[in-house]
Structure 1
Amino acid sequence: MELQLQEIREQQKASWNKSSPGWKKWDDMTMDFLQPFGDAIINALDLQDGYHVLDVAAGTGEPGLTIASKIRNGKVIITDLSDEMLVIAHENAQRAGLRNVEFSVCDVCELPFDDNSFDAISCRMGFMFFPDMLLAAKEMLRVLKPGGKIAASVWSGPEKNGWFTAAMSTVKNNVELPVPVPGSPGMFRCAKDGLIAGLFEEAGLTNITQIELPGKLNCQTADTYWSFASEVVGPVVSALAQADAETKEKIKSEIIQLINQTYPEGNVSINSSAYIISGTK
């Protein structure tokens, strides 16, 4: 891997390790938020009991843990670049009483598995953060058995993901942020319709399908949304780290005001949208 890509990988690893306490704190709400996309991935994989499944960039363990609960006679290997996130995933597996899971801290662009090792591969909200997305897809294809399926999800456009833009637009109005390099890892890097489908085709997958799926972040209150966004949503957390106390308080006040104006009757439930893409080796 090129030096520049290695540097991006290390930055990603440090960022996810740093944010892991927030993910642990908000794991229940985050997993409820992301569950529809994980369920769609699982449906696309046509799982069978006894399958050997790889879950890439699983963070705190999903959808790999749910997959493990469905294929009790199979096995799931859950991977992530962040060792701190996988500590949480391991705790979640123990809490669920799952014994057919293993964990591997590794880079998707250099998977430590033999060719043709897995019957299916899942990847929920990971591709947009990979330094080299095509190399990642090819590595997944390499370790997938012939006839096996890969299914992934990525966020669609920011205009359909108010759960992110409500906070980030306010942050940008108050903090001067560096302009990201085109194509660099980011939340909406894969938002272009058909981008990942095209990537899958270039990697060598066939029978490629794509659907767009809506979702909701159920926060109930504006205060809960602020706490979640400021502790879990990576770009917001990073931007706030650059702000002084007065600016942070101003951002907090403006975000809460925006959410209360948008949901005057409370019951904050913010829109999201993602693409689910699958293909066969």
Structure 2
Amino acid sequence: MVEMTGTLHVDPSNAEQARAWDGDEGAFWAEHADRFDRSLRGYRTPLLEAAAVRPADRVLDVGCGAGEITCEVARRAAAGRGLGVDLSAAMLRIARRRAAEQGLANVGFEQADAQIHPFPPGEFDLVVSRTGTMFFADHAAAFATIARALRPGGRFVQLVWQARQSNEWFVALTTAMAAGRDMPGPPPDGPGPFSLSDPARVRRLLTGAGFAEPRVEALTAPMHFGADAADAHRFVSARLGWMLADLDDSGRARALADLWTTLRAHETSDGVLYPSATWLITAVRA
């Protein structure tokens, strides 16, 4: 069964994600696209080095967002092409604008649920994803779809977050905004930022989908949240504003004060920086 969210065809298990990413969540990310790209800049070089794009490659970018990585792989695949897919129409508009501004004629963008999208079999030489694959509701189905879209011997390179406790940015910011409340996260295998944080689970999913044994590399890089504490406070309080919804005035004041304290403690001459940790996972279609 396929569910319709607006004009977007999604698997029913991804309907909630589609409503968020093609709604307020995606609109916020689109509005702050440059800032989100800047926050992940420390991972750009290792991801692209692992991708090792060749001039004639046909490349799929899953969860492409505003298209920074899609545009870069298309530029490197000058005799090939790049396709970025995402659930967010707002972010795809930014991606198309960026591609046009960069004069890239060999790149396209499509709004799609990559878990079920009918990509032509063997259409791509390479699939990349920068922190996008964690949000699938059914990773086994999504990875099987991606495997079918790759030619035999094609590669799948994805960057995903390590465990919550290894990512100080997440722990510090959400703890501050919780204002002393216990805020349970999503189940470890459900859609969410840390759903692929267990390398053993990722290996099982990938090999079960038709990939050879993957290579998993641990990476760390600073996450950038703003030019200074005041800039970061405006951004993070808006990004996590939903966490304040059920607080009274005193609770809101505490949360925003705690947020200021942690942001101020991480202020450097290069901006507000927090440690982060990811897995760089490379797998070849068998």
> TM-score under structure 1 normalisation?
0.88
Distance 1:204 1:173, change over 3 A: same
CA distance in 1, matches of 2:25, 2:55: 34
CA distance in 2, matches of 1:266, 1:53: 33
Distance 1:119 1:6, change over 3 A: closer
- CA deviation map 1:138-161 (0-9, x unaligned): 100001011110000110122222
State which of 240, 244, 247 in structure 1 corresponds to 2:244. 240
In structure 1, the residue matched to 2:167 is 161
Indicate conservation of the 8 Å contact 1:109/1:132, yes or no.
Answer: yes
What 5-or-longer segments of structure 1 have no aligned partner?
none
- CA deviation map 1:96-136 (0-9, x unaligned): 22221111111111123110100100111122210101111
- CA deviation map 1:42-74 (0-9, x unaligned): 222322112111111111113111111211221
- CA deviation map 1:170-207 (0-9, x unaligned): 22335564663452211212222333233212212115
In structure 1, the residue matched to 2:63 is 57
Indicate conservation of the 8 Å contact 1:81/1:106, yes or no.
Answer: yes
State the one-letter code of the partner of 2:52. D
Indicate conservation of the 8 Å contact 2:168/2:276, yes or no.
Answer: yes
Alignment map for 1:109-128 (pairs within 5 Å):
109-128=115-134
Distance 1:174 1:96, change over 3 A: farther
* Structure 1 residue 255: Cα displacement: 0.5
User: What percentage of residue pairs aligned between the two structures are identical?
Assistant: 26
Distance 1:111 1:256, change over 3 A: same
Q: Does 1:10 align with 2:15?
A: yes
Indicate conservation of the 8 Å contact 1:33/1:215, yes or no.
Answer: no
- CA deviation map 1:3-50 (0-9, x unaligned): 8x9444121112123123332333223212223434323222322112
Distance 1:2 1:171, change over 3 A: farther
State the one-letter code of the partner of 2:262. L
State the one-letter code of the partner of 2:260. I
In structure 2, the residue matched to 1:271 is 275
What 5-or-longer segments of structure 2 have no aligned partner?
4-9
Distance 1:38 1:136, change over 3 A: farther
State the one-letter code of the partner of 1:62. E
In structure 2, the residue matched to 1:96 is 102
State the one-letter code of the partner of 2:38. D
Q: Does 1:253 align with 2:281?
A: no
CA distance in 1, matches of 2:181, 2:13: 23
Structure number having the greater helix percentage: 1
CA distance in 2, matches of 1:177, 1:28: 29
Q: Does 1:191 align with 2:185?
A: no
Distance 1:241 1:142, change over 3 A: farther
Aligned residues: 277
Indicate conservation of the 8 Å contact 2:122/2:149, yes or no.
Answer: yes
In structure 2, the residue matched to 1:134 is 140
CA distance in 1, matches of 2:87, 2:276: 25
Superposition RMSD on alpha carbons, in Å? Answer: 2.5
* Structure 1 residue 241: Cα displacement: 4.3
Indicate conservation of the 8 Å contact 1:65/1:101, yes or no.
Answer: yes
Greater RCO structure (CA 8 Å; 6+ sep): 1
State the one-letter code of the partner of 2:49. N
CA distance in 2, matches of 1:257, 1:148: 47
CA distance in 2, matches of 1:99, 1:245: 52
CA distance in 1, matches of 2:284, 2:132: 19
> TM-score under structure 2 normalisation?
0.86
Q: Does 1:226 align with 2:230?
A: no
- CA deviation map 1:229-276 (0-9, x unaligned): 2334xxx34323444565434322211012224558894211111000
CA distance in 2, matches of 1:24, 1:106: 17
